[in-house]
């Protein structure tokens, strides 16, 4: 393997969900910089198009497609689009997630429970299922599920979210085990506290932030761009013998 081509994604088609901002946007930009044609996906087309346009303006290849992964019809639609427009999928990054409930686990409402499960578990599951089938038709590919350190150590007042992220870690291993001989590698990224709009309720809460930082050896919150390099590794030839792995990018949180 030549070092110069290890991270080359030229000719690859990549679908990134939750890509209109935050970690998903950072991943989209980096994969495009390394040659991938990136499909920027999120619930609202305007945000997706803004990111895709910016990538194109900087010389990359990007398209926008609105997809709410909590809706099965929209999952089917995005894969129909990819099949029609590209005939292949090489990379899938399941990054879109929801966390509507913040409070005591014993007070979790059914509606918030169901929404979190529909997006974070069912959505990831069927995105992966459709992704594997399309990838296998062209010799394989790589899937990265964005889980969370909360899937290992439940976050305070984030019970159902933490439970779904633990499920994503298990799901990653299950797909990796069954799909390896189909040429599809499946790994998980476990971000620590990251400065995104999604995590703003945590980042801007002094008590929660200080409590979290007490357990982070690096004593700081991550920038979304610091997650993207790990995803580049997991979808490139650099990780060709890596599947079923969980990569924590957390400033050392899980070691403390």
Which sequence positions are flagged as catalytic? 161
Q: What are phi and psi of 140, to 5 degrees?
A: 125, -170
For residue 96, give Cα distances in angstroms to 35, 59, 102, 138. 23, 25, 18, 25
Residue with tokens 């930082």: 213
For residue 179, give Cα distances in angstroms to 71, 95, 200. 24, 20, 36
Asked if 41 contacts 17 with a C-beta cutoff of 8 angstroms, the reply is yes
First to last CA, the chain: 36
Q: Measured between alpha carbons, how far is 142 from 140 in angstroms, rounded to an integer?
A: 7
The number of beta carbons lying within 10 Å of the beta carbon of residue 5 is 11
């Amino acid at each position: 393997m030549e070092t110069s081509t290890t991270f080359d994604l030229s000719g690859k088609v990549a679908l990134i969900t939750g890509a209109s901002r935050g970690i998903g946007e950072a991943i989209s930009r980096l994969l495009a910089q390394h040659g991938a044609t990136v499909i920027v996906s999120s619930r609202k087309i305007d945000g997706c198009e803004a990111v895709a346009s910016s990538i194109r303006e900087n010389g990359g290849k990007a398209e926008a497609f609105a997809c709410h992964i909590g809706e099965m019809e929209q999952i089917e639609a995005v894969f129909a689009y990819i099949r029609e427009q590209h005939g292949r999928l090489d990379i899938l990054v399941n990054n879109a997630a929801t966390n509507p409930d913040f409070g005591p686990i014993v007070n979790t409402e059914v509606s918030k429970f169901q929404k979190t499960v529909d997006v974070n578990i069912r959505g990831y599951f069927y995105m992966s299922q459709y992704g594997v089938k399309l990838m296998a038709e062209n010799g394989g590919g790589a899937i990265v599920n964005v889980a969370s350190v909360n899937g290992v150590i439940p976050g305070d007042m984030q019970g159902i979210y933490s439970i779904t992220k633990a499920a994503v870690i298990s799901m990653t291993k299950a797909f990796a085990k069954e799909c390896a001989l189909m040429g599809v590698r499946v790994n998980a990224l476990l971000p620590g506290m990251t400065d995104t709009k999604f995590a703003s309720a945590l980042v801007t809460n002094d008590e929660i932030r200080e409590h979290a930082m007490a357990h982070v050896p690096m004593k700081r919150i991550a920038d979304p761009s610091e997650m993207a390099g790990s995803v580049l590794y997991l979808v490139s030839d650099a990780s060709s013998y890596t599947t079923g792995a969980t990569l924590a990018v957390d400033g050392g949180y899980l070691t403390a």
